[in-house]
Amino acid sequence: MIVISGATGNTGKPAAEALLAKGDKIRAIGRDASKLQPFVQKGAEAFVGSVEDAAFLRKAFQGATAAYLMIPPDLRTNDYRAYQEKIVVAYAAAIAEAKVPYVVTLSSVGADLTEKSGPILGLHNLETKLNAIQGLNVLHLRPAGFMENLFMSVQPLRTMGMLPGPLPADAPHAMIAGRDIGVYAAERLHARDFSGSSVQELHGQRDISMKEVAAILGNAIGKPKLGYMQVPFMMLEPALVQTGLPKSTVALMIEMWKSMNSGTLKPHEPRNAKNTTPTSIETFVTEVFAPAYSSVAAKA
């Protein structure tokens, strides 16, 4: 039995689907029973509850041979770091008690850092706590930034007519589609070909600049002259707070972006066949972003 946390999310869903296609038995964790039904129809066991609930997790991991662990993003919580730590402690206790032999985690590039990494520090702590569990074989996946983060720009795209962001326009950086992470996690959970504590970075299909991303987005959504603007942090902070994000969460995000821009927070592996994944930014924008953008525009 392989337990998948966040089974309806950007990485958990493709992981669950890939494992079911391989014939593995899975236990899908999620908050919404109706969203778990497609997995149940394919033979999965649904476990409805919150990963913040330590007692729930203890039950969820009983009898598991492997598990995929991720911290569901909840950027609107008032204390994001406390939210992360609560889940980290609950995961570690449940895995240790159930003696799950294999775990794959969704961590992040930058999880090697012990400071100035913003929300990624919670993932560093997840890695650290799991590494301390005796007898556990754990593989920490450290992907680059998600292509799905572009959805935060839907409203500014419509109102400002440009793609805003915190990164320099011309600096190439790695971006990855969530589904590629899920598929990779499923492969390793199925094979269980890792031992001890190990790390695997995932860099996406290629490095790309935000200026290039803007051009690709613009062509896909009917705005061929769409440009990118790097927004100064003194302007970005109040703009993000205006969207409803708590100031403490925004401060964490800005800390992370500053470390990215300074080169402190970065991938460490050279790009190679193992850390390069198939979905290009063009494919993601065409298949995922553009339809969602059009849907929002139609409702406006």
Each domain of the chain, given as residue ranges in start order, spans 2-149+175-202
Cα 122 from chain centre: 13
- Please report, as a single letter, which amino acid is at residue 146: F
**198: phi then psi, degrees, rounded to nearest 5:** -140, 165
**29: phi then psi, degrees, rounded to nearest 5:** -95, 130
Task: Quick: pLDDT tens for 18-45.
Answer: 999 999 999 999 999 999 999 999 999 9
- Give the architecture-level CATH label for domain 2-149+175-202: 3-Layer(aba) Sandwich (3.40)
- In this predicted structure, what is the pLDDT of residue 158? 82
Q: What SS3 state is found at 139?
A: strand
Give first-to-last CA distance, the chain, whole Å. 44
Q: At what angle do helices 12-21 and 33-40 cross, to 10 degrees?
A: 20
What sign does the dihedral 58-59-65-67 (CA atoms) show?
negative
* Average pLDDT value over all residues in the chain: 94
- In this predicted structure, what is the pLDDT of residue 294? 83
Contact 146, 175 (CB under 8 A): yes
Match 């790695």 to its residue by tokens.
Answer: 174
- In this predicted structure, what is the pLDDT of residue 160? 80
Task: Establish how many alpha carbons lie within 13 A of residue 269's alpha carbon, considering only the half-sphere containing its beta carbon.
Answer: 19
The share of the chain scoring above pLDDT 90, in percent, equals 89
Contact 67, 103 (CB under 8 A): yes
**108: phi then psi, degrees, rounded to nearest 5:** -165, 150
In this structure, the number of other CB atoms found within 10 A of the CB of residue 59 comes to 13
Q: What SS3 state is found at 280?
A: coil
- Please report, as a single letter, which amino acid is at residue 121: L
DSSP string, 63-130: T-SEEEE-----TTSS-HHHHHHHHHHHHHHHHHHHT-SEEEEE--TTTT-SSS-TTHHHHHHHHHHH
* 156 band by pLDDT with thresholds 50, 70 and 90: confident
Task: Quick: pLDDT tens for 254-275.
Answer: 999 999 999 999 999 999 999 9
Task: Quick: pLDDT tens for 203-239.
Answer: 999 999 999 999 999 999 999 999 999 999 999 999 9
Q: How far, CA to CA in Å, does 66 sit from each of 62, 189, 190? A: 10, 7, 9
